[in-house]
Chain A
């Protein structure tokens, strides 16, 4: 277990030792801040009632977009870089389980994401100081965003383990995530039975409830399953060297 933290720690040192992490965080914060501001202005202009009830939905649907944009850039190097360098082969010769390697990398990416997300609470706190509002819906929305981000990370981790090219890693992750986004876009393209299944699988439909302040156990289960599924596939992807060999 301690090796999970050693891998995680090395990952974090690498991430925060390079300018890339700071650029990603700055972009995330800038876009997040801009959306917060424009959504606030929009809600104030368009609605005659108290701003916050409808605000979170707009803000978090926008943050979801920024998260989709940034997370694959965090996850793209996790395995791809080690495969390219050849250091992954060395990891396999140390007394560490594949599951521990996956867990260490996964936790490091989650930590980066949380650190990136943290400053977005500042405008919320400022608004709260100006005009206190019930915190429940905001916390629900944050929970949803964290789960969504972790889901993206699990997906990105898998793709990163399949290639040694970081650009390919990021692009394929975008492809998969956008596919999950548009899964239910055109309701006419699928019949009702299929649509019901697709709705159940759509990450973004699942996320929508959280932005309304609703925490549904079905949604929690879905995200838990989604994350576990991709982590399992990542683990299997590492194990595939046993029958595919090492390039």
Chain B
């Protein structure tokens, strides 16, 4: 009975489709009226503070529990009426990465393949493929309990990849890893998506910004924004931001810059010992003042040392969205990178 929907979905390349999904646990509403779609080959990031409903959304997609209201299709299968078929298209990496401690990596992945419905031979083959793509070959015969956190995390990814699912749901894949492992994991995730849809969650914004095609921002169980990282940036931005460093009389420079057309505000950031100073300039929306600055500073005979436009980080955008005010008015930490 789902065939028509199924073929329509596959034709349109939509792998995940949530519509009005709500999940309640008793009187507590974890998520409310969540709707979004994910196309084949797309990486979508779920972003939000703790308790925003990221894990609940992902668990519904992975088939852990059904929604209280609303409908969700995964790989064209309704997760309520046809849960086993829906689950068969999904690979899931839980927030609490876990595997049987007393099994070797290889035997565990074979077991996972068998549980996902592969026969013995296909499961052995798939375990090999998954280990290759997660660089686990060297520890294939080690017990999972004896592996380092980074390796265990990769076993979790390999587990999700086993059986070539068309949808990957990754709940905080980089949580608890050191920076080098985070970089590896990001590479791994980016390499996964070609013919798959990936939904990943994170509270590290930098990560989503660099990995995802689209970002969904959740707050208190609701979607507050869906867009590409670039568009999100543009959308909430009331102002542009320019950093300029000039070697000249600080007060005069400041007054001059503040008087230029399109400059909304200016802040002196730092003075170096030789008299140069850096300023952060907030400009009116969609107004590039950089050329005016360059020309007029040169005309005054001051030395222009640096002139660049600084994008707002997702973290700033995020805070702005969550607190319902644009980032332009919060000028903290503007010159430095806000990435942590």
Convert B66-78 into 0s and 1s, putting 1 for each residue whose CB lies closer than 8 angstroms to a CB of A.
1000000000000
Q: Find chain A residues with CB under 8 A from B66 CB.
A: 242
Q: Are B63 and A245 in contact (CB under 8 A)?
A: no
Given A3-B115, A89-B64, A95-B87, verify A14-B102 contact (CB < 8 Å).
yes
Cβ of A185 within 8 Å of any chain B Cβ, yes or no, is: no
Cβ of B240 within 8 Å of any chain A Cβ, yes or no, is: no
Q: Looking at A7, A18, A246, which has the most chain B CB atoms within 10 Å of its CB? A: A246
Convert A84-103 into 0s and 1s, putting 1 for each residue whose CB lies closer than 8 angstroms to a CB of B.
01110111111111000000
Q: Find chain A residues with CB under 8 A from B94 CB.
A: 86, 89-90
Cβ of B244 within 8 Å of any chain A Cβ, yes or no, is: no
Cβ of B90 within 8 Å of any chain A Cβ, yes or no, is: yes
Cβ of B65 within 8 Å of any chain A Cβ, yes or no, is: yes
Cβ of A10 within 8 Å of any chain B Cβ, yes or no, is: yes
Cβ of B330 within 8 Å of any chain A Cβ, yes or no, is: no
| A92 to B111 CA separation, bound complex (whole angstroms) | 15
Residues of A within 8 A of B (CB): 3, 6-7, 10, 14, 17-18, 85-87, 89-97, 241-246
Given A93-B64, A94-B115, A95-B87, verify A243-B98 contact (CB < 8 Å).
no
Q: Which of B47-69 contact A (CB under 8 A)?
A: 56, 59, 62-66
The smallest C-beta distance from B185 to any residue of chain A, in angstroms, reads: 19
Closest to B25 in A: A245
| Contact residues of A: prevailing secondary structure | helix
Q: Are B100 and A95 in contact (CB under 8 A)?
A: no
Q: Are A241 and B115 in contact (CB under 8 A)?
A: no
The smallest C-beta distance from A243 to any residue of chain B, in angstroms, reads: 6
Q: 14 pairs across A/B with beta carbons < 8 Å? A: A3-B114, A3-B117, A6-B114, A85-B101, A86-B96, A89-B64, A89-B98, A90-B98, A93-B92, A94-B115, A94-B116, A242-B66, A244-B25, A246-B65
Cβ of B5 within 8 Å of any chain A Cβ, yes or no, is: no
| A92 to B115 CA separation, bound complex (whole angstroms) | 11
Given A92-B63, A241-B64, A245-B65, verify A87-B99 contact (CB < 8 Å).
yes
Q: Find chain A residues with CB under 8 A from B112 CB.
A: 94
Given A96-B115, A245-B25, A245-B30, verify A87-B98 contact (CB < 8 Å).
yes
Closest to A88 in B: B98
The smallest C-beta distance from A10 to any residue of chain B, in angstroms, reads: 6
Q: Find chain B residues with CB under 8 A from A90 CB.
A: 92, 94, 98, 159
Q: Find chain A residues with CB under 8 A from B92 CB.
A: 90, 93
| A86 to B112 CA separation, bound complex (whole angstroms) | 15
Q: Find chain A residues with CB under 8 A from B64 CB.
A: 89, 92-93, 241, 246
The smallest C-beta distance from A219 to any residue of chain B, in angstroms, reads: 38
Q: Find chain A residues with CB under 8 A from B25 CB.
A: 243-245
Q: Find chain A residues with CB under 8 A from B223 CB.
A: none
Q: Are A241 and B65 in contact (CB under 8 A)?
A: yes
| A93 to B159 CA separation, bound complex (whole angstroms) | 11
Given A89-B64, A243-B26, A246-B64, verify A95-B101 contact (CB < 8 Å).
no
Q: Find chain A residues with CB under 8 A from B116 CB.
A: 94-95
Q: Are A6 and B115 in contact (CB under 8 A)?
A: yes
The smallest C-beta distance from A102 to any residue of chain B, in angstroms, reads: 15
Q: Which of B77-103 contact A (CB under 8 A)?
A: 84-85, 87-88, 90, 92, 94, 96-103
Q: Are A89 and B111 in contact (CB under 8 A)?
A: no
Q: Find chain A residues with CB under 8 A from B117 CB.
A: 3, 95
